[in-house]
Amino acid sequence: MAEPLRIALAGLGTVGAGVIRLIETNAALIARRAGRPIVITTISARDRSKKRGVDLSPYAWEDDMIVLAERPDVDVVVELVGGSDGPALACARTTIESGKAFVTANKAMIAHHGLELAAKAEAAKVALKFEAAVAGGIPVIKGLREGAAANAFERVYGILNGTCNFILSTMEDTGRDFADVLSEAQARGYAEADPTFDIEGTDAAHKLSILAAIAFGAQVDFASVDTSGIARLRAADIAQADSLGYVIRLIGVAEPDWADGQCRLFQRVQPHLVPFDHPLAHVDGATNAVVAEGNFSGRLLFQGAGAGDGPTASAVVADLIDIARGEIGAPFSVPVTELEALPPAPSGHRRGRAYIRFIVADRPGVLAEITAAMRDAGVSIESLIQKGRAGQDGEVLVAMVTHEGPESAVTEALRLLDGSPSLAQPPLVMQLLGN
Amino acid sequence: MAEPLRIALAGLGTVGAGVIRLIETNAALIARRAGRPIVITTISARDRSKKRGVDLSPYAWEDDMIVLAERPDVDVVVELVGGSDGPALACARTTIESGKAFVTANKAMIAHHGLELAAKAEAAKVALKFEAAVAGGIPVIKGLREGAAANAFERVYGILNGTCNFILSTMEDTGRDFADVLSEAQARGYAEADPTFDIEGTDAAHKLSILAAIAFGAQVDFASVDTSGIARLRAADIAQADSLGYVIRLIGVAEPDWADGQCRLFQRVQPHLVPFDHPLAHVDGATNAVVAEGNFSGRLLFQGAGAGDGPTASAVVADLIDIARGEIGAPFSVPVTELEALPPAPSGHRRGRAYIRFIVADRPGVLAEITAAMRDAGVSIESLIQKGRAGQDGEVLVAMVTHEGPESAVTEALRLLDGSPSLAQPPLVMQLLGN
């Protein structure tokens, strides 16, 4: 059997400990499948003495991630520190510049600096892999980059954040409100103490921008993802959606948008209404799922655990097995120099159906005011429900679903209502996910 | 850009025409992703003059597949002729012996001769790839072989035959009976004129045996798959399952079975009752779906079109892109010499819940006879329904669901009832799919 592939591990949180456990537990089968053993030689983390449930004594220790990346007895550095810049990025640059392969679960860094790192890796002819950065244990980057590589993709979309999906499906099951369920998610370890990145959609947007680059041969453009989160959702929205035949899920969508002979890239993360008969409507708890629509494959669905030490370690080690087998390849499927700089697509001309929810003052004439604005902007209303008290002082919930029309019309209607004293808070708009 | 990869196509049915259309339509992006163009140079089929909706004039023609496989201007032969032996197998052997890569969608041939071909390919250091042989356009072989390669698999199971799934989900939606829906499936092209391989489970068993070999590092053992089909299912079974919270799906299941320090391989294709809250319960129409349970990844689900020219072509060309990129690798994930010859696992000691349906004569005492046999065999009944007339002369349907227990007890109960004049036909047994 060939020489072992020697791994250095930077970062020893739950995922790092998971990678150690996986490589130890499955050592024999990994060696058989990879054609050579995969062994951890060196480890670096902030605190050497912290209890992690794994025995670190077989491994050399480096306090400094940069020194780790430069060690001559290391073939691949696995970075599990996190953070888009700082030590993680310095470690990535040093690793690649030292001619070593680099594997990471760091979605923020790849979303912000993936192109620079891929260009460096291609120049150095070393592997840069980040399967674990998107959708945890689901091999979706491999699915797009290789399994469905024969296709032009028409759309890629999915549930990319397990925390949000846990919160939404728990709100659905229990009828409880957002803040309440968030607290539970934090207590159960499904949400961070500071949940901002998750609940505001930033984490999903990081992942979406990576998927979009691979699917559409475009430069990663995280800054252009139109992102909104789930914090404004109420139990009443979930109940309304249910009565209309939908569940609410935070969906990231990316698709090429052709107009006037120019291709633009549309990227959005937003809560959507998903019809009961869509596969994503049955994705519950902390699960992730990605749909890729290829021009020959049709709709492909990849589903599994979106986070957690085991699933994330599974994705990290899949990358290591690829490297052990000699698979290097372009990190974004095509060489960085061939990735197109697609301008962001505006959403106004997109056609679809929308759910619009208002919290309004409980007084006569409000409904007439809202429906007049819709009429004036050319928004056609399919159904409308006005729900007694929404639980707070004198507030009433008005929820409507529109017929299909341009998103610009809804924007215009809301502009007409902007500043109206009838509205107790800004309206909430969610798209209905089309089939 | 590097030299083109030169493809010869053997077989020009709908999938062959799909491969030509795909390679022509997506030529530019395939070249970008593969790092080199993929071009068809030569074609072979039985009838050169048949209309196929694609222009064959750019391609050289060979009447003989063996001559095709020997041509020096060919790097890869794609075989889409079908059949486990005969011309397809001769073509495969000649291709590999000529030092060329071989790609096929032929599940029957891989199930029967995959080990021989893989051994030849490994000796010749050429690629043998068959992503399209299992679950059409879904990259599930890649998913097991690479995406989830870090895992020991605990179970692999799924919906592997689109024809059966179309029939079952249509029976479910319409309340119609098997024969009636089969006729419709044949008229709509979802079922062959001779549907035997599909409806008796043989096609699913071919695919299951291939997946099991890859997942468990075992030699392909198609002959040991315990296979039953869907032809005996009645509308009344679907209705009963529905009232209990289940749908019926033809499921292939494979898992390692450890006893007395010996690992055996359990493989079964059988209609199962699938609980509404399981992802496979929502797989409708001609869709396929495969679940792989890894010891670190947890449950991964791959879902998509299980057949059709576009999806199958997508899988074939994904294999070609891999070959163009230089990915050879062991066809069954580990070298053939390392695949274990696992003996087949008996089912008797397996524990589970079963649905048992009897068609009985409409006369007193029958139910007492059946329940006595269950008692004597130690089968505990959870629920039992006796449904008036089942539509035919004096026949009554008795359906029961058992508590969890060994399968051997159910077998013993049915043995006690064997030959009883009360039973109008042999009982039908289906397992309940566990989570």
Chain segment B125-138, per-residue pLDDT in tens? 999 999 999 999 99
Point out the annotated binding site of A for NADP(+): 10-17
CA distance A392 to B396: 59
Confidence of residue A224 (pLDDT cuts 50, 70, 90): very high
Q: How much of chain A, in percent, has pLDDT values that exceed 90?
A: 89
Residue in B22, B150, B338 closest to A321 by CB = B150
Active site includes B207?
yes
Is the distance from CB of B28 to CB of B62 less than 8 angstroms?
no
Length of chain A equals 435
**CA nearest to A32 within chain B:** B334
Does A311 sit within 8 Å of B146, measured CB to CB? no
Does A33 sit within 8 Å of B334, measured CB to CB? yes
**CA nearest to A326 within chain B:** B327
Per CATH, the number for A5-133 is 3.40.50.720
Looking at the complex, does the CB of residue B276 fall below 8 Å from at least one CB of chain A?
A: no
pLDDT mean over A201-219: 98
Per-residue model confidence as pLDDT tens digits over A282-304: 999 999 999 999 999 999 999 99
Does B149 sit within 8 Å of A318, measured CB to CB? yes
CA distance A433 to A253: 10
The region, left, alpha or beta by phi > 0 then psi within -120 to 50, assigned to residue A329 is left
Q: Superfamily assignment of A351-432 in CATH?
A: ACT domain (3.30.70.260)
Q: How much of chain B, in percent, has pLDDT values that exceed 90?
A: 89
Q: β-strands B354-361, B395-402: how paired?
A: antiparallel
CA distance A46 to A11: 8
Place of tokens 């043989």: B202
The pLDDT assigned to B389 comes to: 60
pLDDT mean over A360-381: 94
- B14 annotated ligand-binding residue: yes
CB atoms within 10 A of CB B258: 10
Which residues, 6 or more positions from B260, have their beta carbon under 8 angstroms from its beta carbon?
none
DSSP state letter for B348 = T
Q: What residue ranges in B241-346 does DSSP mark as E strands?
A: 246-259, 262-275, 287-294, 298-305
Per-residue model confidence as pLDDT tens digits over B17-47: 999 999 999 999 999 999 999 999 999 998 8
Determine which of B20, B33, B122 to mutate to test the interface with A (most A C-beta atoms within 10 Å). B33
pLDDT mean over B313-342: 96
Per-residue model confidence as pLDDT tens digits over A44-92: 998 888 888 889 999 999 999 999 999 999 999 999 999 999 999 999 9
Which chain A residues have a beta carbon less than 8 Å from that of B296? 18, 22, 25-26, 137, 310-311, 313-314, 317
CB atoms within 10 A of CB A354: 20
Does A304 sit within 8 Å of B297, measured CB to CB? yes
The region, left, alpha or beta by phi > 0 then psi within -120 to 50, assigned to residue B308 is left
Which chain B residues have a beta carbon less than 8 Å from that of A142? 142-143, 146-147
Structure tokens belonging to residue B159: 């919906």
A43-57, A386-400, B312-326, B376-390, range with the lowest pLDDT: A386-400
Look at residue A311 and give its three-state secondary structure.
helix
Look at residue A176 and give its three-state secondary structure.
coil
- Please tell me the distance in Å from B379's CA to the nearest CA on chain A: 34
The pLDDT assigned to B188 comes to: 86
Per-residue model confidence as pLDDT tens digits over A134-181: 999 999 999 999 999 999 999 999 999 999 999 999 999 999 999 999
Q: What residue ranges in A187-261 does DSSP mark as E strands?
A: 226-227, 246-259
Nearest to A127 by CA among A162, A167, A92: A92
Looking at the complex, does the CB of residue B305 fall below 8 Å from at least one CB of chain A?
A: yes
- B10 annotated ligand-binding residue: yes
Cα distance from N-terminal residue to C-terminal residue, chain B = 49
Does B296 sit within 8 Å of A151, measured CB to CB? no
- Please tell me the distance in Å from A127's CA to the nearest CA on chain B: 14
Q: What average pLDDT does the structure give for chain B?
A: 95
Looking at the complex, does the CB of residue B151 fall below 8 Å from at least one CB of chain A?
A: yes
CA distance A164 to A178: 10
CA distance A325 to A178: 46
Does B327 sit within 8 Å of A150, measured CB to CB? no
Q: Report domain extents, chain B.
A: 5-133, 140-305, 351-432
Nearest to A344 by CA among A201, A430, A216, A198: A216
The pLDDT assigned to A392 comes to: 57
Q: Superfamily assignment of B140-305 in CATH?
A: Dihydrodipicolinate Reductase; domain 2 (3.30.360.10)
Q: What average pLDDT does the structure give for chain A?
A: 95
Residue B225 predicted with pLDDT over 70 = yes
Residue in B22, B139, B325 closest to A147 by CB = B139
Q: What residue ranges in B94-141 does DSSP mark as E strands?
A: 101-104, 128-129
pLDDT mean over A356-381: 94
Structure tokens belonging to residue B86: 């005969």
CB atoms within 10 A of CB A311: 30
The residues with which A44 forms a beta bridge, in sequence order, are A10
Residue A390 predicted with pLDDT over 60 = no
Structure tokens belonging to residue A345: 């697509």
CB atoms within 10 A of CB A117: 23
**CA nearest to B137 within chain A:** A297
- Dihedral angle at the C-alpha atoms of A43, A48, A51, A54, nearest 10 degrees? 20
Length of chain B equals 435
- The one catalytic residue in B100, B120, B129, B207 is B207
Residue in B300, B322, B333 closest to A138 by CB = B300
Is the distance from CB of A144 to CB of B318 less than 8 angstroms?
no
Does B314 sit within 8 Å of A297, measured CB to CB? yes
Residue B392 predicted with pLDDT over 60 = no
Residue B325 φ/ψ, nearest 5 degrees: -80, -5
Look at residue B29 and give its three-state secondary structure.
helix
Amino acid present at B69: A
Residue A359 φ/ψ, nearest 5 degrees: -105, 115
Confidence of residue A389 (pLDDT cuts 50, 70, 90): low
Point out the annotated binding site of A for L-homoserine: 192
Residues 393-432 of B with CB under 8 A from A: none
A356-365, A374-383, B142-151, range with the lowest pLDDT: A356-365
Which residues, 6 or more positions from B222, have their beta carbon under 8 angstroms from its beta carbon?
B111, B112, B205, B206, B209
Does B151 sit within 8 Å of A217, measured CB to CB? no
Does B298 sit within 8 Å of A310, measured CB to CB? yes
- B13 annotated ligand-binding residue: yes
Per-residue model confidence as pLDDT tens digits over B400-419: 999 999 999 999 999 999 99
Determine which of A32, A216, A263, A297 to mutate to test the interface with B (most B C-beta atoms within 10 Å). A297
- Please tell me the distance in Å from A373's CA to the nearest CA on chain B: 40
Which chain A residues have a beta carbon less than 8 Å from that of B139? 143, 146-148, 300
Q: Each residue of A207-223: b (16+ CB within 10 Å) or e?
A: bbbbbbbbbbbbbbbbe
Per-residue model confidence as pLDDT tens digits over B319-328: 999 999 999 9
CA distance A311 to A297: 26
Residue A387 predicted with pLDDT over 90 = no
Does A30 sit within 8 Å of B146, measured CB to CB? no
DSSP state letter for A340 = B
Residue B236 predicted with pLDDT over 70 = yes
Which residues, 6 or more positions from B81, have their beta carbon under 8 angstroms from its beta carbon?
B10, B11, B65, B87, B88, B91, B106
The region, left, alpha or beta by phi > 0 then psi within -120 to 50, assigned to residue A285 is left
Does A321 sit within 8 Å of B149, measured CB to CB? yes
Residue B208 predicted with pLDDT over 90 = yes
Which has more confidence, B361 or B252?
B252
Residue B378 predicted with pLDDT over 70 = yes
Residue B111 predicted with pLDDT over 70 = yes
Is the distance from CB of B416 to CB of B430 less than 8 angstroms?
no
Nearest to B373 by CA among B342, B345, B390, B398: B398
The pLDDT assigned to B362 comes to: 85
Is the distance from CB of B104 to CB of B83 less than 8 angstroms?
no
Which residues, 6 or more positions from B256, have their beta carbon under 8 angstroms from its beta carbon?
B153, B154, B216, B263, B264, B265, B266, B342
CA distance A395 to A362: 6
The pLDDT assigned to B299 comes to: 97
Residue B318 φ/ψ, nearest 5 degrees: -60, -40
Q: Is the dihedral of CA B114, B117, B122, B127 positive or negative?
A: negative
- Please tell me the distance in Å from B397's CA to the nearest CA on chain A: 32
Residue B393 predicted with pLDDT over 80 = no
Looking at the complex, does the CB of residue B317 fall below 8 Å from at least one CB of chain A?
A: yes
Looking at the complex, does the CB of residue A26 fall below 8 Å from at least one CB of chain B?
A: yes
DSSP state letter for B147 = I
Look at residue A143 and give its three-state secondary structure.
helix
Does A26 sit within 8 Å of B296, measured CB to CB? yes
- B417 annotated ligand-binding residue: no
CA distance A252 to A244: 22
The residues with which A253 forms a beta bridge, in sequence order, are A157, A268
Residues 49-68 of B with CB under 8 A from A: none
